[in-house]
Amino acid sequence: MSDYAQWLAENDRYLADALADLRARLQRAAGRHEEPVAAAPHVADVPATATPQEPAAEQRHVSWLSRVFREHATPAVAPALPEAGASDTAAAEPAPAPILASTADASDAPPAFTPALQLLAQRLGLSDFERDVLLLCIGMELDTRMPALCAQAQHDMSKPWPTFALAFAVFDQPTWDAMAPERPLRYWRLLEIHQPGPQPLIGAALSADERIVNFAKGLNYIDDRLMPLLTPLGTDSLPPSQQAVADRLIDHLRHIPFGEPLPTVQLIGTDSTSKQAIAQTVAATFGAQAFRLSAQLLPPGTADQDALARLWRRESLLMSVALYVDASAVDATEAASGPVRRFLARTGGLLFVDTREPWNDSGAHVLGAEVARPTAMEQRTVWQHLLGEGADQHARQLSGHFDFNLGKIGQVAHTALAATGQRLEGLGEALWQGALARTRPALDQLAQRIDPKATWDDLKLPDTEKNLLHQIADQVAQRSTVYDDWGFRERMNRGLSISALFAGESGTGKTMAAEAIAHALSLSLYRIDLSAVVSKYIGETEKNLRMLFDAAEEGGTILFFDEADALFGKRSEVKDSHDRYANIEVNYLLQRLESFRGLAILATNQKGALDSAFLRRLRFVINFPFPGVAEREAIWSSVFPPQLAIGPLDVARLARLALTGGSIQGIALNAAFLAARAGVQITMPLILEAARAEFQKIGKPVNEADFRWLESAGGQA
C-alpha cells in the first residue's frame, strides 16, 4: 500500500470515529440515552499535531519559504509537459494532490499521520470549538443520519440542519466569537450561512463548503470556482540567461526573514512565455505549482475581487500553489492597472505579476526582474540541438533573423521536421516558412502586409543608390555573424538596429526598393498605416506604436513607414500640453528605432520635415532622384509584361516625357485597359493617350504636340 493510500485509510478511520462521537453527542442532546460508543473519542480530545520545531541555523538546508510550502505539504502534482507543437502555455490538468507528501529534509518532516481536519485547523487558525462546528457541518455531507439527529437535538423536526445554537448546546467550551466575520469559519468561507429574512445568525442553517468537505476526506483539488479562471503552468527547462534571473529571485526569496510577508514578484518584459517558465521554475523550487490568471478575467467589482482574492488565499494555505497574474495587456497607468493592483494587494502567498513595463507602486513590497527572450547564441544552440547534425546553417540563419522563445523554436522545428520526414532536403524552406507564419498573426492586425514581387532587376536607379540598397540587404543577412560570432553585441548596447531613410518624390521607387530588399531576404514586408497608428488622444499613439514594435520584435519582418514625415516630424517648442505630448511621441519613436532588432525603412518625399535626431540615428539615408532620360528608357523598356502583345514602341520618345517610375507604371496599366476595351494590341497612340491623362492628373502642363502620333510620318508628331 502506498503512503497516500495508507494515509487515506487512517483518515477515514479518524472521520468514522469522530462522526460516531458526534452522533452520540447529538443523541444525548436529544434526550435519547443509548449505549455510548466506547472507543469514540471526541474530536476536541484528539491532540493537535505539533508543528515541527524549527531546526538550528546550522542545520537548515532550505529557507523558511520552503518549509511553509512543505510543512504537512499538499503540493499539486506537476502537469505533464505539452507535446511538441502544442500551445506555449498548454499543460495537462493537474491530478488531485495528496495531503501527505514526502519531504527531502528529515528536519522538516511532519509526523507519520495527521488527519486532514487537523491540518485544516492548523493552517486556517481554527480553535477547537470552531473545528467541531466545521465537523458538524461536514458530517451532514458524510452521514445520512445527521439531519434527523440535528432535528431531534434541536427538538424541532423542521430544522434538520446544524446551527450555531446547536453547536453551543452540543460541544464543550463554546465561544461566541466563532460567529464573528473576522474569525476563520466565516472569513475563509468554510461555512455557508443560510439566513433568510430577519432570522438571527445563531439560528441560521449552516452547511460546509464543498471544497472543505473534499479536503477533510483527503481529496485536495483546486476549488471548482477557481479552476475555470486558472491555467497550470508547464515546467520547461530554461536557457542560462533566464535561469540566472530565476536563481536571483530564488536567492532573494530564500533570505526573506521569517514572518515577513512575501513580495510580489514583478516580471517585466514582452515575452510572457519566458516569464511563465521562470515563474514555474521559482515556484517548483519551493515545491509549488504555479497557475496563470489573466487580469482580464478579474471581476470588476471590489467586493467580487475581494471574494476571489480570499478564495485564492485559502487555496494557497491548503495546497502548495503560486499565482501568476498575467497583466501584460494592462497599461501601467493608475486608471488602467488600479483594479489589478488592488487584487494583488489582497492576495497572499507566492505571487507573480506579468507586466510589460515596471509598475511604480510606492510603499508596495515588490521584487522586480527584467525578463528577455533567450540570447541569439542560446537560440542558435537550441535550433542546432533540435534540428540535429547538418543543420548548422539553418540554425545560424534562423537565430539571426528571428527572436523566438524556446516554445516557438520547438514548435517550428518539430513541425518542419515532421513535414520533411526528418530529411535535410527541403528543411530550410519548411523552417523559414514556418517561422514567418508565426510572426504574421500579430502584425496582420496592426499593419498592411505587402507581397514583395519586385526584384533587383526591376529597380532603375543610379549605381550609387543601388549599391546602398545592396548594403542594407547584406547587413541584414550578415548581422548574426557580425553581432554574435564577432562579438559586437557584447561590446555595444546601442546602434545595433538597422534603419534606413528613403527620400524622394512620389513614384521614384521607394516602395519598390523596399519590396526588392524583402524579396531578396525572403522576409515579410509590412506597410505601416499611419491612420491606424496616430491618434488625437494623448498617449494612444505611443500605445499603438508599442504594440506594433513588440509584434515585430520576433523578427522576420521589415517595417516600412510610408509618408514617414507625418509620424517622424520635427520636435517643436513646447507651448502647450499638445506640443509636449507630440514631442514625447517623437522621443518614444527614437528609442524604439534604436532598440528594434529588425529592419525599419522610413520613406518620405519631404526629407526636410524630419527631425534631425532621426537622421543622426539612421544607418542609411538614400536619396531617390527623379529619373533621368536613361533611367526612364530602362523603365519603359521593362514596364510591360513579356507575354503582352505590343506594337512598335518609340522608347526614346517616351523617355523624353518627364515622368517618375510610378507614373510610367500607371500609364502602362491604363494603356493596357484602353487596348483591352478596343480589342487591339497596345500601340503608341494608346500609350500617349494614357500619358496625356497622367499629365493632367498630376497637374503638369500639356503640350499637345508631345502626345500626337502620326503613323504616316513614321511616328513623328
Q: In total, how many domains does the chain have?
A: 5
Contact of 137 with 206, CB cutoff 8 Å? yes
Is 692 within a domain?
yes
Cα–Cα distance, 398 to 127 (Å, whole number)? 62
**Shared-domain flag, residues 123 and 205:** yes
Is 247 within a domain?
yes
**Shared-domain flag, residues 250 and 352:** yes
**Shared-domain flag, residues 259 and 211:** no
CATH number of the domain enclosing 309: 3.40.50.300
Cell numbers 520545531 label which residue?
53
Q: What is the pLDDT of residue 37?
A: 37
Is 533 within a domain?
yes
Q: What is the pLDDT of residue 712?
A: 44
**Shared-domain flag, residues 260 and 291:** yes
| Alpha helices by DSSP H, 286-375 | 302-318, 334-345
CATH number of the domain enclosing 677: 1.10.8.60
**Shared-domain flag, residues 313 and 250:** yes
Cell numbers 502626345 label which residue?
707
Q: What is the pLDDT of residue 24?
A: 94
> CB under 8 Å to 419, separation ≥6 — which residues?
430
User: Which residue segment(s) compose the domain that 552 sits in?
Assistant: 456-624
Q: What is the pLDDT of residue 530?
A: 67
Using a CB cutoff of 8 Å and minimum separation of 24, what contacts does 331-338 make? 331/543, 332/356, 332/357, 332/358, 332/359, 332/360, 333/539
**Shared-domain flag, residues 397 and 338:** no
Q: What is the pLDDT of residue 148?
A: 95
**Shared-domain flag, residues 473 and 425:** no
* Cell matching residue 399: 537565430
**Shared-domain flag, residues 330 and 398:** no
**Shared-domain flag, residues 476 and 491:** yes
What is the edge-to-edge ordering of all strands in the sheet holding 321-326?
230-232, 289-294, 321-326, 351-355, 264-268, 366-370
Domain boundary at 420, 444, 468, which?
444
> CB under 8 Å to 395, separation ≥6 — which residues?
380, 381, 383, 384, 387
Is 397 within a domain?
yes
Is 222 within a domain?
no
Classify the C-alpha dihedral 646-651-653-658 as positive or negative: positive
Distances (CA, A) of 467 to 273, 459, 501, 601: 41, 12, 15, 16
**Shared-domain flag, residues 563 and 592:** yes
Domain boundary at 602, 624, 646, which?
624
Q: What is the pLDDT of residue 473?
A: 95
**Shared-domain flag, residues 494 and 526:** yes
Is 65 within a domain?
no
Q: What is the pLDDT of residue 581?
A: 52
pLDDT block averages, 10 residues each, the chain of length 717: 85 95 93 45 38 33 43 35 34 38 35 84 95 96 95 93 94 92 95 86 94 94 94 91 96 88 92 95 95 94 92 94 94 83 90 91 78 93 92 91 92 94 88 92 87 93 94 93 85 78 92 96 88 70 83 90 72 48 66 85 84 78 94 93 87 92 94 93 92 91 81 50
Cα–Cα distance, 534 to 586 (Å, whole number)? 12
**Shared-domain flag, residues 419 and 270:** no
Domain boundary at 624, 655, 684, which?
624
Is 100 within a domain?
no
Q: What is the pLDDT of residue 222?
A: 93
Determine the number of helices (DSSP H) and then strands (DSSP E) in the chain: 27, 14
Short-list 350, 318, 322, 323, CA closest to 98? 318
Cα–Cα distance, 528 to 563 (Å, whole number)? 9
Where do the DSSP E strands lie in 209-350? Answer: 230-232, 264-268, 289-294, 321-326
Is 104 within a domain?
no
Q: What is the pLDDT of residue 582?
A: 53
